[in-house]
Amino acid sequence: MLRLMNAGFGNMVVIDKVAAIISPGSAPAKRLKDEARDGNRLVDITQGRRTRAIIVTVSNHIFLSAVQVETLAARFQQEAARPAAEALEKL
């Protein structure tokens, strides 16, 4: 069963596929974003707002989110700790 995390504005990412949630301010993060854009692996889910977090997946896709890194990390931990049966009832 897929367990999802809200990445902002109703957009969801699969928890098991998230490799990292990083801040977009550093030069390596910007380079990662630019390389993903060039390789057609970039998904912008900011709805036109400022990018506050970058979600990196195991398939090397990059999601740009307008939600703070700390907020996404808290959501990730909350959803990851939830038993699968409880997550199923939520749907």
Q: What is the pLDDT of residue 81?
A: 86
Domain assignment of residue 54, given as a range: 4-90
pLDDT: is 11 or 86 the higher one? 11
First-to-last C-alpha distance (Å) of the chain = 11
What distance in Å separates the CA atoms of residue 31 and residue 35, rounded to the nearest whole number? Answer: 6
Count CB-CB contacts under 10 A for residue 13.
23
pLDDT digits (tens, 9 = 90+) for 31-80: 999 999 999 999 999 999 999 999 999 999 999 999 999 999 999 999 88
According to the model, what pLDDT value does residue 8 have?
95
Between 90 and 36, the higher pLDDT residue: 36
Cβ count near 12 (within 10 Å):
13
Instruction: Name the β-bridge partners of 42.
Output: 62
- Number of separate domains in the chain: 1
